[in-house]
């Protein structure tokens, strides 16, 4: 994956200007998929720089204590019959979504390792630092029809930081989330409990509490086009039986989805859900997504492994399907747009990139609260002599 990725015949677009000929800087960026058809851009094979864990109280630890191990049920032809509703809501401890964590946990890791980053001391100054989930949203934007997004961007010591901002619509949706959706969220985490053990060769324990504060995160280095990337994403588990123990190729992503019975349901799944699964796993180089398909009663009836590099095959001949090249070309174009827009080096200056389906990406300029997202403890520590031994303060403004 020095990745030319999966290719697709481009076809000729007569009217549209190709994405790489758009004049930048500009005040907006179009998102029409037709503009981004073309060869798959260069994407450096992601390499893991390190990791960190968040505990049951959401506290940061610069180690792998929260890593879990893939432990699938025996393949004896029987349905797994996992009860995804078991323990809800009594053994459920969801993360407090009112807490806006921004990039804080990733910044803790950067502070710890800033003096010994792969690529040398100057590498960070040219990089883009963000969460994998933010990049995933960029990849899927050309095909997204429902949910908009906002990304805040600041440049500090040369580095461009991107942090998502909850849109007003997303906030309303979260605060009015119906019980059935809350239970569906729980079921996804419950599936992980049935599929993971705390140690290699261990057994699963679905009787315990589902605590969504706990997380294991991989920190990765890559490059999209000419944009060096340092990003982090949550990892569900590691496969002790993987052909290689080298992360990220030994990681496994776990997902749940409702059982499919009709061609229409499958087509919708391949067009929408599989796009998001592909984007989320392709970026960090996770090779496999294991899906548990549940029935209306909340029991997992079957398991299926989707290879990340083969997901596009399900929509290759669907004229309304998605195209990996379009996703990556748009993401590269957005990163160029952001790099050319955010020119002033000032951690208190924020450029807010906003997008709604059917519209171009627009940008507005802001200063200080509530938009500034690089915390004081980070800015102060990074401003000190970079060669002094880094200390990691706890994330607080």
For the chain, give every domain's residue range.
Answer: 29-382
The tokens of 217 are what? 């995160």
pLDDT digits (tens, 9 = 90+) for 287-343: 999 999 999 999 999 999 999 999 999 999 999 999 999 999 999 999 999 999 999
- Name the β-bridge partners of 289: 253, 306
Distances (CA, A) of 129 to 103, 143, 231: 9, 24, 6
The whole-angstrom separation of Cα 237 and Cα 196 is: 7
Q: Sorting pLDDT into bands at 50, 70 and 90, what band is 395?
A: low
| Beta carbons of 383 and 376 less than 8 angstroms apart | no
The continuous run of DSSP H or E covering 293 comes out as strand 288-294
Structure-block tokens of residue 259: 């059982």
E strands in 195-280: 196-197, 210-211, 215-224, 227-234, 237-238, 251-258
| Token pair for 366 | 């802001």
- Report residue 260 as tokens: 């499919």
Q: Does residue 99 carry a pLDDT above 80?
A: yes
Q: What tens digit of pLDDT does each residue of 151-185 get?
A: 999 999 999 999 999 999 999 999 999 999 999 99
- pTM for this prediction: 0.92
């Amino acid at each position: 994956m020095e990745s030319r990725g999966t290719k697709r015949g481009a076809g000729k677009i007569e009217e549209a200007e190709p994405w790489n000929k758009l004049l930048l800087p500009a005040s907006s960026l179009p998102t029409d998929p037709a503009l981004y058809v073309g060869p798959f851009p260069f994407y450096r094979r992601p390499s893991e720089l390190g990791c960190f864990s968040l505990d049951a109280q959401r506290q940061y630890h610069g180690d792998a204590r929260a890593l879990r191990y893939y432990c699938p049920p025996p393949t004896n032809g029987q349905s797994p019959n996992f009860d995804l509703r078991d323990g809800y809501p009594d053994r459920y401890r969801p993360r407090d979504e009112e807490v806006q964590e921004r990039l804080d946990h990733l910044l803790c890791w950067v502070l710890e390792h800033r003096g010994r980053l792969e690529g040398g001391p100057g590498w960070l100054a040219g990089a883009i630092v963000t969460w994998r989930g933010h990049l995933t949203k960029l990849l899927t934007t050309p095909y997204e029809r429902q949910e908009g997004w906002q990304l805040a961007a600041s440049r500090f010591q040369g580095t461009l930081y991107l942090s998502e901002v909850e849109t007003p619509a997303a906030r309303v949706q979260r605060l009015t989330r119906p019980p059935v959706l809350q239970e569906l969220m729980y079921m996804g985490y419950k599936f992980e409990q049935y599929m993971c053990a705390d140690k290699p060769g261990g057994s699963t324990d679905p009787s315990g509490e589902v605590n969504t504060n706990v997380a294991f995160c991989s920190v990765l280095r890559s490059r999209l086009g000419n944009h060096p990337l340092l990003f982090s994403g949550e990892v569900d588990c590691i496969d002790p039986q993987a052909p290689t123990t080298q992360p990220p190729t030994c990681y496994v992503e776990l997902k749940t989805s409702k059982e499919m019975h009709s061609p229409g349901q499958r087509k919708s799944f391949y067009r929408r859900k599989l796009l998001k699964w592909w984007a989320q796993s392709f970026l960090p180089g996770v090779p496999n997504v294991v899906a548990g398909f549940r029935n209306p009663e909340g029991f997992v009836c079957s398991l299926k492994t989707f290879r990340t590099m083969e997901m596009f095959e399900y929509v290759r001949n669907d004229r309304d399907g998605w195209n990996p090249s379009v996703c990556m070309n748009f993401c590269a174009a957005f990163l160029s747009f952001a790099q050319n827009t955010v020119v002033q080096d000032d951690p208190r200056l924020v450029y807010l990139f906003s997008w709604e389906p059917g519209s171009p990406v627009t940008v507005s300029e802001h200063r200080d609260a509530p938009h500034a997202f690089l915390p004081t403890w980070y800015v102060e520590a990074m401003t000190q002599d970079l060669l002094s031994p880094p200390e990691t303060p706890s994330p607080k403004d």
